[in-house]
Structures are given as C-alpha cells and as structure tokens.
Amino acid sequence: MITDLLPPPVAAVDAFEDPADAVLFPEEQEHIARSVEKRRLEFTTGRHCARAALGGLGIAPVPILPGPNREPLWPAGVVGAITHCKGYRAAAVGRASEVWTIGLDAEPNEPTPGGVLEAVALPPELAMVERLRAAGDKVAWDRLLFSAKETVYKAWFPLARAWLGFEDAEVTVNPDDGTFAARILIDPPVVDGVMLDGFTGRWLVREGFVVTAIAVPAP
C-alpha cells in the first residue's frame, strides 16, 4: 500500500500482521525489553519492515535504534521513516544521494477522539476539514490532517534537527488528486542551501487506513 505513494528511488515495505519470523538485534531487544507487548510487537515489525526496505537498496540488515527524539537511526547515507498503528506497519528508506528526506504516517480511517482536532488544527485547517466533511466522502478528514502533520514533522526533523509543533505548519489537503501541501509558519532554516519552508506529499485511504507520505528528491 505505501509503495503507491512513493517514487522509485524509495524502497518501502509494509505489513498488516506481525510476522512470527520478525526478530530484533540484541541492542534493539535491550531497548524494548521493558515495554508492553503492544509496543514490542509494533517496534519489532517496524524494524522488520525497515530491514526489508534496506534490502531493497542492497543494504545488509543492521540494528535500527531510536535516537534521542525517538527518530530511527539509519545507516550512514540512508534516510527513512517508520510508522505503525493497530493492524498496519510500514517503513520507507532511500539513499541520501537521491532522497533528501522521507516522512511517513499511518492511522485508522476513523475520526480523531474528541478534542484532538481542535488541539492540532489551525483555524484555516478547521475550516478546511468542515468543507471536506460536507462533501460526504468516506474519508476521516480530521484523521487525514493529523496524519499529514505527523508526516511533515518526520520529514522536517532530520533536516532541521528542531521541534516543529502542530501550530508551526499549515496543511492544505487536495481531495481530488490525493496530494497535500504544508507551509512552514516559523522562520525556516536553510539546509544545504535550500530554504526549508514547506513540503508536498501524497495520501491515500485504503483497507481501513489513512496513509500519508513525503519524499523529497535530493537537492
């Protein structure tokens, strides 16, 4: 499913179940040892997908530990993202020489719990969600907005190495072509000579899930 959103330089793998043959490296096992079973399963399958995706780039399996901000620490020369929700896990990776950054998120195609939309959405985004809901589609538009904002953060952080709050990016969803755009509202940093002032991404709703993705070609 996730491969439908990403360009060819990106290798992506997803899973709708937790495979019995998914294993962790000792360093990863130590990290997750005290976690509850739900967290261990999503972590293990997420890493399983990530190593399969790395294999698509011809890279041998390696431990993928979390960094200080819970971001995956990829092998040198690799960028990527991992996502998981109930019933779905996915990972996407690319060579840094070809892909600048990747963002990825998956959510159930269900309305967000009460109060979440108001906590994450800016006034123009609230108005957009109301307009999209009025169209009567079978998409949980508030959940799609939330997912897109998560994906924007995952694409932003490896480049800016700084926090980006929900209020720091305004997302516009195109309901007709499966794309979205994000405008960064804080002073944008310049990374590798490029002003990091926004992203474009793609989304889909399938099999009961909302999935969003960003893959930016290397400048």
Average pLDDT on 29-34 reads 95
Q: Is the pLDDT of residue 123 over 80?
A: yes
Domain 2-104 fold is: Ribosomal Protein L22; Chain A (3.90.470)
Is 72's pLDDT higher than 90? yes
Residue whose C-alpha is closest to residue 24's, from 42, 47, 53 = 47
Torsion angle, alpha carbons of 39, 41, 42, 47, to 10: 120
Residue 165 token pair: 């709050």
Task: Give the model's pLDDT for residue 136.
Answer: 75
In this structure, the chain runs to a length of 219
Instruction: Determine the Cα–Cα distance for residues 211 and 146; give it in Å rounded to an integer.
Output: 11
Q: Residue 191's pLDDT is what?
A: 93
3-state secondary structure of 179: strand
159, pLDDT greater than 90: yes
**CA–CA separation, 182 vs 64, rounded Å?**
28
| This prediction's pTM | 0.96
The domain spans of the chain are: 2-104, 109-217
Residue 171: pLDDT over 80: yes
